[in-house]
Structure 1
Amino acid sequence: MPADPLLHPDYEFSADAARLDAGRVHLLLTEHAYWAAGRGREVQDAAIAGSRSYAVYHRPSGALVAYARAVTDGATFAWLADVVVDPVHRGRGLGTAVVAGAVADLETLGLKRIVLKASDDGRGLYEHLGFAPLDDPAPWMERRPELGK
């Protein structure tokens, strides 16, 4: 993937799954993302295995500093999840870079819809990249084990 001219030269976006440091992803999510608190490493590894993963790396150190993944059938639908940026590297557009890179990759699939659940602090970033609230959220439903049958 060519270099993003809007991304600072000290950082690099990648969709290369072979390059992904799953341990670092797990650490970032469990320490800096409230929705992933308590998520075990085996669960995170399974989530990565069932998803397309995207990362931003700090070029001088090679460290993974931002991450996002997409759960998709590769033809009609994707759910963008687990967007996280290392707090040490925040404020440099890395959240925007990892989400924009993921969306660009997913757009090549011709999907009908990409959805996400926006956190309050991420809402502006997602709106800037073209995400909007659902026109009619009423038909959407969920099933959670803790709710019973």
Structure 2
Amino acid sequence: MGTTITVRLVRSWNEHEIAELYRAGGWWKEEYRESEIPALIRGSFLFAVAVHETSGRAVGMGRAISDGVSDAYIQDLVVLPSCRGSGVGKQLVQALVTHCRNEGINWIGLVAEPATEEFYRPLGFAPMKGHVPLLYQEDSPC
């Protein structure tokens, strides 16, 4: 990349840049509105942006959801394809974990996408034995 990437914890950021990161992760749905991004950022316990210092643009992001007391969940970690493999994702995870731990939150979890487990292991994450992540499905039978 040839430039410095800095991770910043933010309370706001350019809506279009964040939407582009969600698109790069394959998580942006057609019905989503970029105008909702400020509330998404503010509603997160932490929102980290990896900034390409030359251009000032976001090249990665991640966030932590927490009550600020007992536990936190890291989610929405994504790096633009052109910057992957350069340590940006690692910087983002480390910033989120460090800040959570500094706030006294030591139970930090995440749900990893298939084939990303080996990325998270060296950063201190391991499978939760005996637990299965679940997702609410409105059309599931009761």
Shared topology, TM-score over 0.5? yes
Could you tell me which residue of structure 1 aligns to residue 105 of structure 2? 111
| Residue ranges of structure 1 left out of the alignment (5+ in a row) | 1-7
Distance 1:47 1:135, change over 3 A: same
User: Displacement of 1:12 after TM fit?
Assistant: 0.7
The one of 70, 75, 86 equivalent to 1:76 is 70
After TM superposition, give the deviation of residue 113 of structure 1 in Å: 1.4
Instruction: Choose the corresponding residue for 1:62, options 52, 56, 61.
Output: 56
Letter in 2 for 1:74: G
The total of aligned residue pairs comes to 139
After TM superposition, list the pairs within 5 Å mapping 1:1-149 onto structure 2: 10-18=4-12, 20-29=13-22, 31-38=23-30, 40=32, 41-51=34-44, 52-137=46-131, 142-147=135-140
Q: Bigger CA drift: 42-51 or 107-116?
A: 42-51
In 2, the alpha carbon distance for the partners of 1:79 and 1:38 equals 25
Query: Relative to 1, partners in 2 of residues 1:120 and 1:45: Cα closer, same or farther, differing over 3 Å?
Result: same
Q: Distance in 1 between matches of 2:112 and 2:118?
A: 9
Runs of 4+ in 1 over 6 A off after TM superposition: none
Question: How much does 1:54 deviate?
Answer: 0.4
User: C-alpha deviations, 1:65-123, integer Å up to 9, x for none?
Assistant: 11001111000111111101011111211011111111111111212411111012422
Aligned residue for 1:147, secondary structure, equals coil
Task: Determine the C-alpha separation between the residues in 1 that align with 2:108 and 2:141.
Answer: 28
Deviation at 1:44, TM superposition (A): 4.0
Q: Percent of pairs identical after alignment?
A: 25
After alignment, is 103-112 or 54-63 more displaced?
Answer: 103-112
For residues 26 and 113 of structure 2, the distance between their equivalents in structure 1, rounded to whole angstroms, comes to: 10
